[in-house]
Amino acid sequence: MTAVDALLKIETIGSVLTLGLNRPHKRNAMNDGLVLTLQDALTDISEAIGAVVIHGIGDHFSAGLDLSELSERDATEGLRHSQMWHRVFDRIQYCRVPVIAALTGAVIGGGLELACAAHIRVADPSAYYALPEGSRGIFVGGGGSVRLPRLIGVARMADMMLTGRVYSATEGLTFGFSQYLTEAGGAYDKAMELATRVSQNAPLTNFAVLQALPMIAEANPQTGLLMESLMATVAQSDKEAKKRIRDFLDRKTAKVKPV
């Protein structure tokens, strides 16, 4: 096993790059080595890759920051560390291709921050969500205060941090922690199924959804509407869009089916 494998199991399955957090004996707590290995794996992703799945090896997605590395850090080192996490998790959020997190067991602290940077979260019933930072005397540092309130609201996040409240997988689906809840043990397979599907989208559509949609949603409405029109114009003038629309009109592609 190489040093990288010992932290992150990297595989290519068809058009999907899978990144398995590989410290199960530490419940996939993230030390600097693991976070930097994630950064490398997300840099210059090959053109053959159309989606990424991040999952946890073993029973847990991640128990968050490796607390054993925290004890000796001073304020300056703490600031640099948080900014390093921001850089790496930004690489997930602004990835060229969609990133899907398969969530099982502990999705705690920095593990939840990592999950929030992904575009789609798929949980199985074992998943649970917590932010024990409050009881550890620390604060989120991996972008959680920016990303998580946009999913679940500031009040719910404040409650989690102040009281140590833990949310179950079922509650997580209701409140927006995950977009999918599978049967027991099904998170990875469902994440792979979705990853394979989204990797078949037109690249410009995925670009628009990953890069333009979040900016438009945060912009003032007039700016947002202008950006939307420009993005729509670019996407629909691409030859891939023309081909896909022609295929639909010629009845060569699947229709939308009711659920």
Q: Give the residue with the Cβ less far from ligand 1HE, 126 or 201.
A: 126
Which is nearest to 187 in space by CA: 122, 126, 129? 122
CB of 31 or CB of 196, closer to ligand 1HE: 31
Closest to ligand 1HE by CB, 75 vs 256, is 75
x-or-dash string of contact with ligand 1HE, 73-112, rule CB under 6 A: ---------x--x--------------------x-xxx--
Catalytic residue among 113, 193, 228, 240: 113
Q: Strands 16-21 and 8-13, how do they pair?
A: antiparallel
Report the alpha-carbon distance of residue 195 to residue 118 in Å, rounded.
12
In Å, what is the CA distance from 111 to each residue of 31, 57, 144, 150, 194? 11, 13, 10, 17, 21
Residues 29-68 that bind ligand 1HE (CB under 6 A): 29, 60, 63-68
User: What are the start-end ranges of the E strands in 58-178?
Assistant: 99-103, 106-108, 120-123, 128-130, 167-168
Nearest approach, Cβ of 73 to ligand 1HE (angstroms)? Answer: 11
The whole-angstrom separation of Cα 37 and Cα 115 is 16
Which tokens go with 25? 């004996």
Burial (Cβ within 10 Å: 0-12, 13-18, ≥19) of residue 221: exposed
- Out of 26, 86, 96, 244, the only residue in the binding site for ligand 1HE (CB under 6 A) is 26
Residues in region 121-180 near ligand 1HE by CB under 6 A: 132-133, 136, 138, 140-142
133 a catalytic residue: yes
Return the number of the residue (42 or 208) whose C-beta is nearest ligand 1HE: 42
Which spans of this chain sit near ligand 1HE (rule: CB under 6 A)? 26-27, 29, 60, 63-68, 82, 85, 106, 108-110, 132-133, 136, 138, 140-142
The residues annotated with a catalytic role in the active site are: 113, 133
